[in-house]
Chain A
Amino acid sequence: MNNKILLVDDEVLQLKIIERLLKSNGYQCVSVTSVQQAEEVLKNFVPDLIISDYEMPEANGFVFRERLLKNDDLKNVPFLFLTSFNQDDLVQKGLDLQALDYIAKNIPATQLLAKINNIMNTVHEQYQKSLSEITNIAKRLNLNIVPTKAPLLKNFEIHYFNHSYQNHPGGDFIDFIKVNDRYTFLILGDVMGKKWGAWFFSFSFLSYIRAAVRICVLDGTLSLNDILKKINKVIYADDFLRDIFSTLSMVLVDDDEAKLIYAGAGDLPLLKFSYQHQQLLSYKSEGILLGFLEDSNFPEQEIAFEVGEEAYLVSDGMIDFEVNAVKKSDINLLKQRLYDLKISGKSTEEIKEILFNSQASQIDDCSFIIIKRK
């Protein structure tokens, strides 16, 4: 829920009263006493609402609002005037500057709070509505970045999970391409970035990947190295994706031989729990991020499986943790958790549930694929 408010007023007492009112009703407030201070704060902080006085020394509220409207990053942040200058011409000018409201300072506290609550609820509802509309359009265009079901194989069970970050779509994408009864491709990618930007570009990457796999299969090629080289080349040549990079893990399941071929581009290692060694093994791929170099190599490795063994493909959100308000990336923490779960005899489904419940302080979208030898 949106709850960050920037308060701008040169009257310190007034500022404190409103701040207390808002904080006691669940809002987070940053309070400043001048437009200059507000502009400094806004360099590193985008609030959900700005409430500003009109009359202030040096720059007044109108000047502040005019400057905000010229700033692409801030012009759409909802803005309210809260002031004791309430002549009709000032109210009109404030509203002409696309302020949502122009409120008199002598308004009763309960009414002020109700107005702010209504604005925040409307903004949130509007956002959810837009999100739902875009998601529906994406669905109609078949722009799914996560498949609706896992492929059914003779010798392997495939489980997968994708969890968005704060309900925003992200850059992770998953795909399964079943070539025939013997071969199936499993794909996990992660476009570098967060939220909308990454989500948008993930479609471009997925389209190239799907096309490259199918074209190579039609040509009789199942070599992951060849497929990844082709994908990398077209992405490198695409000016639209010039500054956008993606990791990719690609696995070819050979269901007849019950083995996997794995190759990757800038991805996290494929992990496999080995009963024989009672340890979690890491298989590192050698490829560089898709789109960085025109010519890259993506060496393949074969992974043999004993009955009951499990392999895991993970996106980088799975190794980002926040502990005591400190963020860090730590693959060893994920490996330790997986190891403990396997040693304690947890089922594949339980591992999926527990891992995601334990991601309480998730700070990015998270995806993983579990490949279990039946």
Chain B
Amino acid sequence: MKINSVKQDNCLVIYINENEANFSKSDKFKELVFQEIDQGNLNIIISFKEVNYLDSSFLGAVVAILKHLIPLNGKLVLTQLNQDIKNLFELTRLDKVFNIEYDFSEALNVFK
């Protein structure tokens, strides 16, 4: 699972450096982000800039991260989703529960 995390302003930006975000990586991804949350990183941006395809397993991991953050009063913003992935969030109504910003700068603004 190739990700890198960078502290920027008052939030943690997690870049998924994978072309395919799929079943084989979803558990590891969830575990890594949960570790960040447990270390006190409650303002999180996840960038999908490098991701071309997202399967339902990985989508489930992203949903689990949001569910984990809500009772901790944390905030999650998803950014730089391609059109297919954005459509997938809309098709499954997940666009109603996630904060999705196309531009990275807009994602940062959410935490200002």
Q: A292-B67, A320-B55, A326-B52 are in contact. Are A244 and B60 (CB under 8 A)?
A: yes
Q: A44-B1, A243-B64 are in contact. Are A194 and B94 (CB under 8 A)?
A: no
CB of A352 closer than 8 Å to a CB of B? no
Instruction: Name the residue of chain B whose CB is nearest to the CB of A194.
Output: B23
B97 contacts which chain A residues (CB < 8 A)?
A: 288, 292-293
A287 to B2 Cα, complex, angstroms: 33
A363 contacts which chain B residues (CB < 8 A)?
A: 55
A186-222 contacts to B, CB under 8 A, are: 190, 192-195, 198
A326 to B64 Cα, complex, angstroms: 27
A98 to B60 Cα, complex, angstroms: 36
A307-328 contacts to B, CB under 8 A, are: 316, 320, 326-328
Mark B26-59 against chain A: 1 for CB-CB distance below 8 A, else 0. Answer: 1000100000000000000000000011111101
Interface residue total, chain B, C-beta cutoff 8 A: 28
CB of A247 closer than 8 Å to a CB of B? yes
- For the residues of A in contact with B, the DSSP-based class is loop
Which of B55, B63, B68, B91 is within 8 Å of A245, CB to CB?
B63
CB of B96 closer than 8 Å to a CB of A? yes
A46 to B88 Cα, complex, angstroms: 28
B96 contacts which chain A residues (CB < 8 A)?
A: 288
Mark B2-26 against chain A: 1 for CB-CB distance below 8 A, else 0. Answer: 1000000000000000001001101
Q: Pull 24 A–B residue pairs with CB atoms less than 8 Å apart, ordered by A.
A: A192-B56, A192-B59, A193-B26, A193-B60, A194-B56, A198-B57, A243-B67, A243-B68, A244-B60, A245-B60, A245-B64, A285-B93, A288-B94, A288-B96, A289-B92, A292-B63, A320-B55, A326-B53, A327-B52, A327-B55, A329-B84, A329-B88, A331-B91, A364-B56
